[in-house]
Amino acid sequence: MARVFSGIQPSGGMHLGNLLGALRNWVAYQHEHEAVYCVVDLHALTTAPDPAELRRNTVAAATLLMSVGIDPERSTLFVQSAVSEHAELAWMMECTVGFGELRRMTQFKDKSDRTEFVSAGLFTYPALQAADILLYDTDLVPVGDDQRQHIELCRDIAERFNHRYGDTFVVPAHVIPEAGARVMDLQNPDDKMSKSLESAGTVGILEDADGVARKFKRAVTDSDGEVRYDPEAKAGVSNLLGILASATGRTPEAVADDYAQYGPLKADTADAVNELLDPIRTRYAELSSDPAEVARLLHTGADKARTVAVATLKRARSNAGLLPRS
C-alpha cells in the first residue's frame, strides 16, 4: 500500500474549501492507502497566535478531522508538535533548500505582503513542510492546488538530499483532485475561500444551516443571467457550479445544463452543502462532549507516528554524517 500524508493548520474554523478540496479526499485515501494526517501546530506559530487560542484551535481541528470521517483506528492522526522529529528534520531541510527557492514561494510573497512582522519561520515554512512529508516515507500528498509549488519544492529537496548523502528519502508525488480543488470566496470569486481572510463569502464547516443558506443566497454572480461553466468570464457562477458539482459527484458542465436562472442554482447549492455538513456538525458535537477521548486518540496517533519518524530521522542523521545518539 502507498503511504499518504497531509496536514492542516489549526488557525481557526475550517471552511468548505478545506472540505471539498482536501478533507473528503483524505477520508477516501484512508480506505485505499496507509494514511498519516497531522494538525500542524508548529506551522501555526508563524503568525504568533495567542497560546490559549492555539491550544483550543488544535483540539478543535483534530476533532473536526475525526468528524469529517478520519478514523484514528484506520489512519495515523496526531498533532505535529507531539513528534519532535519534525522540528529536527526541518533544520536539515533548511540546510538543503536554497534561499532563492524559498524566496520564490508564492505563498510567502502573498502572506508577507499582508503583515507588518514577517517571521523567519514564515520564510522557511516549506522546509518544515518538507520535513513533515519526508519523515513518513510518503508516496502521495493529497493537497489543494495552492500547495502545488510547495510539494514540488519538497520533491526537489528530497532529490537533492538523496544526491548528496545517498538514498534517504522517498520522493513524494502530489495528488490534486479535479473537482472542488479550488473553492472560491462567495463574495470575491476571484479569490479562493480562506480561513485566514475575514470574509462574508467563507462558509465554515460547522456554520449553522441558516447561515450557510444566507451566504449562498447572497453569493456574487454577474448581470448577464446565463448559467454556464466558464471560470474566466463567469467566476461567481462557475464557483457555484463547481461547489454543487463537488457536493453531488457530478461535473460543473453537467450541473449547468440543469439551470436557466441564478436563484435556483444558489438555493440548490446551499441545500446540497447543508446536506453534506449536517452529519459533520452532529459528529463534532458528540466528540466535543468527550475531550478526554479526543486527547487519548491523539496521543495514540502520536505514538504510531513517532515509530516511523524516529527511523527516518535516524537514517537521515547517519547519511548526513551526524554522530549517533548516545
Amino acid in position 136: Y
CB 36 within 8 A of CB 76: yes
Q: How many CB atoms lie within 10 A of CB 315?
A: 16
**CA nearest to 129, candidates 114, 147, 144, 117:** 147
| 39 vs 22: CA distance, rounded Å | 14
Query: Which amino acids are annotated catalytic?
Result: 111, 192, 195
In one letter, which amino acid is 31?
H
